Amino acid sequence: MIHHVVAFTWANNLPTGHLERVAIGLKELHKHLAHVIVSYEFGPDAALVHSGNADYGIVATFVTEDDWRIYDTDAKHNAVRAELFKPYISDRTAIQFCS
């Protein structure tokens, strides 16, 4: 399995209600790519630690590297990145690991 984990920190220009738009966009993306995604979880930080955490996370699991590459290069995925994330993030970090 390939696990793809992304953590975002929002910039100060995050519009009111934007997290709802993000959730809708990610749910639609998951449906669109369900044929390559084993599991897809996302959401805002639960604030269990009060400093140093990112604001939002996505965890996606794939059977193969090829499945992850389909997800990573998909046009709808790139549109979600460009419209819902890129204008509003101050920091992004990611990792892919195998289990």
SS in 3 state form for 45-62?
Answer: CCCCCCCCCCCEEEEEEE
pLDDT in tens, 71-92: 999 999 999 999 999 999 999 9
CA–CA distance, 80 with 62 (Å, rounded to integer): 19
pTM greater than the 0.75 cutoff: yes
- Residue with the two structure tokens 């046009």: 75
The pLDDT confidence band at residue 6, using thresholds 50, 70 and 90, is very high
Determine the distance from the C-alpha atom of residue 41 to the mean position of all C-alpha atoms in its chain, rounded to a whole number: 8
Q: Which domains does the chain have, with CATH numbers?
A: 2-98 (3.30.70.100)
pLDDT in tens, 13-69: 999 999 999 999 999 999 999 999 999 999 999 999 988 999 999 999 999 999 999
